[in-house]
Amino acid sequence: MKTCYRYENGTFVDAQSPFDATIGSWNTAIADAGYRPQLQVPTVNDHDYPVATIYRHIDGNDVPEYLVAIWGEDSEIALLVVDDFIHLMPTLTAIEPLTRYSTNLSE
């Protein structure tokens, strides 16, 4: 994982990935680290499979509770590290232009 970020104070900053993506496949590494997919959201371009996937850690102890993987047409674009639900909503709002997901509950 080369592009790992955290959304802080209105901007994305570099972050440390909570798992080692060099061991096996990316899906295996994220599952072995205790993260499970919770929601997939199509990206705006909506080709065959580009999505943003929200993962949640099975217990959330001493690791970020959520990860948001943003996938492009051929591969992953970025991994966003999110400490807890309070930080998840602003992160999702920040990536809204990339996805068909909306955090506006009135829609």
> What's the pLDDT tens digit per position in 3-28?
889 999 999 999 988 887 776 677 78
Q: What residues pair up with 53 in beta bridges, in sequence order?
A: 40, 69
Fill in the DSSP letter of residue 47: -
| Entry pTM | 0.79
Beta-strand runs (E) in 64-107: 66-71, 76-82
Q: Of 50, 47, 93, 87, which Cα lies nearest the Cα of 67?
A: 87
Q: Inform me whether the pLDDT recorded for 72 exceeds 90.
A: no
Spatial contact of 63 and 17, defined as CB atoms under 8 Å apart: no
Question: Using CA atoms, how far apart are residues 18 and 22, in angstroms rounded to an integer?
Answer: 12
Average pLDDT for residues 16-41, to the nearest whole number? 83
